[in-house]
Structure 1
């Protein structure tokens, strides 16, 4: 990495810490400069205002949070193993400290800055949905899933919604609650049981 690349990464890391801790409104460029350990000139050279910097933070965090999910699509011909891997990675990232902080910040700021919400959706949730849809389409073409009545995309939406519903609600409404690996595994299994009953063809364990 060049010196400029290092400085840019420090700005983004510092901005991420400040935005996720303070929220968009309370965050200031002075806080970000101090957190990043760079000059104001360095911050403003790359990002002319706070909104531009926040947009970069959203895109960066979404990329980090979706990377692991995309990596496992598909790694196995066994649909149960693949869906379990997807579900576990998805919830682990979604319910992480950083994932929840980003979600809370976006929900709080989107009514005043709708474009930030659109950027978040396009950079994060839509990327995951597109990849899961692609996998479900492939599984359906191979005769493992029957999704003709709803379509592959709606089946993907339902799977991700089954994973996210109760788990994310509990974590968002209870800031001090941190789910264990065992609980995440339970949530994933519950989602897969429901999805399996709706869309699996035959007995996947046969």
Structure 2
């Protein structure tokens, strides 16, 4: 390859990257993908469908995302980041474990049982056997990351003498599971087709807190 040709190739690569960094265009594509994946599921959706829904050409779509799998992962990450921010702020801003975990648990229950979250879980479970990297990434950047952040909060509460927990990583996962009891599994299997009401979320999380504190709360010596 001549130096002139090499310069053209490098210039083209730079332009390719620049063309794929417009945040408004990326948002437009992800919005279109959200519509298609939610309506059709992962396997039935095509890049042509997504391009049409996003009102962009297929060539533009491929500038931003190399394939359907990477597009889906990017969409999950966008939705997850937007939803979980408030949930983890509930932990960081409150040193009362009952109140903080209660606020977090309600945010978590809303987030996991929202329409897109339920659809995303179904899609990932459906393709995880043949796309293990996608399944692992979904788990590591979602449930595993969440349980670690809760565990860090529990570590702080243990250090302050407000909780008595030997294994905070296990306790964090237990708490997450308690907050989903009777709510999430029926949604995943489409046995319940609408998100739980606020009253039902409060009831389930309140019972989760009561059970959690019965096991890990510091007993008064008075």
TM-score in terms of structure 2 length: 0.85
Partner of 2:203: 186
Change in 2 beyond 3 A, CA 1:81/1:176: same
**Unaligned stretches of 5+ residues in structure 1:** none
Larger radius of gyration: 2
Partner of 1:85: 103
Partner of 2:70: 52
Moved over 3 A (4+): none
TM-score in terms of structure 1 length: 0.91
Do the aligned residues in 2 keep the contact of 1:66 with 1:124 (CA within 8 Å)? Answer: no
Q: Following the alignment from structure 1 to structure 2, what is the Cα–Cα distance between the partners of residues 170 and 16?
A: 23
CA RMSD of aligned residues (A): 1.8
Higher RCO (CA-CA < 8 Å; seq separation 6+): 1
Do the aligned residues in 2 keep the contact of 1:47 with 1:53 (CA within 8 Å)? Answer: yes
**Unaligned stretches of 5+ residues in structure 2:** 1-18
Number of aligned pairs? 201
Change in 2 beyond 3 A, CA 1:178/1:48: closer
Partner of 1:162: 178
Q: Following the alignment from structure 2 to structure 1, what is the Cα–Cα distance between the partners of residues 39 and 131?
A: 19
Partner of 2:15: none
Q: Following the alignment from structure 1 to structure 2, what is the Cα–Cα distance between the partners of residues 49 and 77?
A: 44
Do the aligned residues in 2 keep the contact of 1:15 with 1:57 (CA within 8 Å)? Answer: yes
In the TM superposition, 1:12-161 aligns within 5 A as 12-148=30-166, 151-161=167-177
